[in-house]
């Protein structure tokens, strides 16, 4: 007989439940799978749970159709980090150069981890003060001086902005180097032509469907390219590098998405247009309601805002912690992405090469992200801004009284 499973005797006190913030920085809008019981049952009946199954197939087709005007091909991945890893691995196999990947330090840890997992080394560049994307002069200088050591360029489409992809075409041709774009927050962003960011590009572009992104599904991601061979190779790399006879002919890992996750993304896609339009309207309200704060100069017609990143007014930079604490007490969640930036993080510091990063450092000292979600209304944003303005006025007033700003 098996011993009975011990039952916890609940001696440990449950931690006190913190009141959920009224306006969290992000709030996932779960695709309502519970309304798709028949589709779930169909997956159960099919006994086809993963391995690029029929629901995943439908999702990939629909994504290209709806977000990329039917142009090019895509591949689902279990998350964007893994997508970046296989994208970079393929790039380095193709370029046969190394060890560096040219990338900004102002990005999320996932990007630097992906470079290291691909057996490469981040070469960190600064950003530009208005667009917050990779410093073009530094990129070009490094490519000219060290092009034979650069396996790939990995720009980041910062916070969902669009990038000048023609320029990366030129850099790629001129220096014979592949481009892998971290577009983690850009699914739903629309470029100056009115097309989904990335549409028609031959580069390898990776998007995230993580719960915190505008296309928040949970855990999933997407790789897009107009180059069918790139997608075919990555599809095989994501299935253990197998060739036709289930024998590895490429570097591989498992990046596949379950059929249930694919269904979840299909459900998300159905309402996505309206959700992005709503997020754009919220961002505009922030711009109107927070004069004196500086927003990113974005490129493109529409940004798939995951939250609202803004720069504090100059006279409030040193008060960021106080402002964030006060906002938290008032039920407003904030963030300070990406502080610390890559080169400040201990694991990366010893494993990356870096250019001088003065703009990154100045921006990191000044940035603060404010809430955006599908559930907020423009009035909610106005309320948040009113709270922000009140806290800032109080801090400035108190500092003036204490002679801090004499």
Pairing of strands 204-208, 294-295: unpaired
Task: Please say if 213 is a catalytic residue.
Answer: yes
CA–CA gap between residue 223 and residue 180 (Å, rounded): 10
Which segment (9-17, 103-111, 133-141, 398-406) binds ligand PLP by CB under 6 A?
Answer: 103-111
Q: With CA atoms as reference, report the closest residue to 76 among 46, 44, 53.
A: 53
Q: Is residue 79 a contact point for ligand PLP (CB under 6 A)?
A: yes
Pairing of strands 353-354, 308-311: unpaired
Which tokens belong to 165?
């992809």
**Under a CB-based contact definition with an 8 Å cutoff, are residues 289 and 381 in contact?**
yes
Smallest distance, Å, CB 57 to ligand PLP? 21
Which segment (31-39, 134-142, 179-187, 290-298) binds ligand PLP by CB under 6 A?
Answer: 179-187
Q: Is residue 357 a contact point for ligand PLP (CB under 6 A)?
A: no
Q: Among 97, 213, 256, 268, which one carries the catalytic annotation?
A: 213
Near ligand PLP by CB under 6 A: residue from 31, 155, 221, 333: 221
Near ligand PLP by CB under 6 A: residue from 210, 256, 268, 279: 210
Q: Is residue 106 a contact point for ligand PLP (CB under 6 A)?
A: no
Q: Is residue 373 a contact point for ligand PLP (CB under 6 A)?
A: no
Smallest distance, Å, CB 158 to ligand PLP? 8
Q: Is residue 181 a contact point for ligand PLP (CB under 6 A)?
A: no
Q: Is residue 154 a contact point for ligand PLP (CB under 6 A)?
A: no
**Under a CB-based contact definition with an 8 Å cutoff, are residues 300 and 197 in contact?**
yes
Near ligand PLP by CB under 6 A: residue from 56, 81, 138, 239: 81
Contact residues for ligand PLP, defined by CB under 6 A: 79-81, 107-108, 110-111, 156, 182, 184-185, 208, 210, 221
What amino acid positions are annotated as catalytic residues?
213
């Amino acid at each position: 007989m098996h011993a009975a499973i011990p039952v916890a005797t609940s001696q440990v006190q449950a931690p006190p439940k913190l009141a959920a913030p009224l306006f969290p920085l992000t709030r996932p809008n779960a695709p309502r799978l519970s309304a798709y019981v028949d589709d779930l049952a169909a997956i159960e009946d099919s006994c086809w749970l993963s391995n690029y199954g029929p629901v995943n197939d439908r999702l990939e087709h629909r994504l290209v159709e709806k977000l990329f005007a039917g142009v090019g091909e895509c591949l689902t991945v279990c998350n964007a980090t893994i997508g970046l890893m296989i994208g970079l691995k393929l790039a380095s196999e193709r370029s046969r150069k190394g060890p560096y990947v040219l990338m900004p330090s102002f990005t999320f840890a996932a990007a630097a981890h992906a470079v290291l997992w691909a057996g490469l080394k981040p070469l960190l560049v600064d950003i530009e003060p208005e667009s917050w994307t990779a410093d073009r002069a530094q990129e070009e200088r490094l490519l000219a001086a060290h092009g034979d050591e650069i396996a790939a360029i990995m720009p980041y489409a910062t916070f969902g902005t669009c990038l000048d992809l023609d320029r990366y075409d030129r850099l790629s041709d001129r220096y014979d180097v592949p481009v892998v774009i971290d577009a983690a927050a850009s699914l739903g962003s629309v470029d100056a032509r009115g097309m989904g960011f990335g549409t028609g590009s031959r580069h390898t572009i990776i998007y995230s469907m993580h719960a915190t992104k505008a296309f928040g599904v949970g855990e999933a991601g997407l790789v897009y390219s107009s180059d069918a061979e790139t997608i075919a190779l990555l599809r095989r790399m994501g299935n253990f590098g197998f060739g036709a006879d289930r024998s590895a002919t490429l570097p591989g890992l498992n990046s596949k998405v379950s059929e249930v996750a694919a269904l979840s993304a299909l459900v998300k896609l159905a309402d996505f247009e309206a959700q992005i339009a709503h997020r754009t309207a919220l961002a505009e309200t922030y711009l109107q309601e927070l004069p004196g704060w500086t927003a990113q100069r974005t490129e493109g017609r529409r940004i798939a805002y995951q939250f609202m990143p803004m720069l504090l007014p100059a006279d409030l930079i040193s008060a960021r912690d106080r402002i964030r604490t006060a906002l938290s007490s008032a039920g407003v969640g904030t963030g300070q992405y990406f502080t610390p930036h890559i080169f400040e993080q201990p694991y990366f510091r010893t494993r990356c090469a870096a250019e001088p990063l003065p703009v990154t450092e100045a921006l990191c000292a000044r940035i603060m992200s404010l809430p955006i979600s599908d559930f907020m209304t423009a009035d909610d944003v106005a309320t948040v801004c009113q709270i922000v303005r009140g806290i800032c006025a109080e801090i400035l007033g108190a500092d003036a009284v204490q002679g801090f700003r004499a």
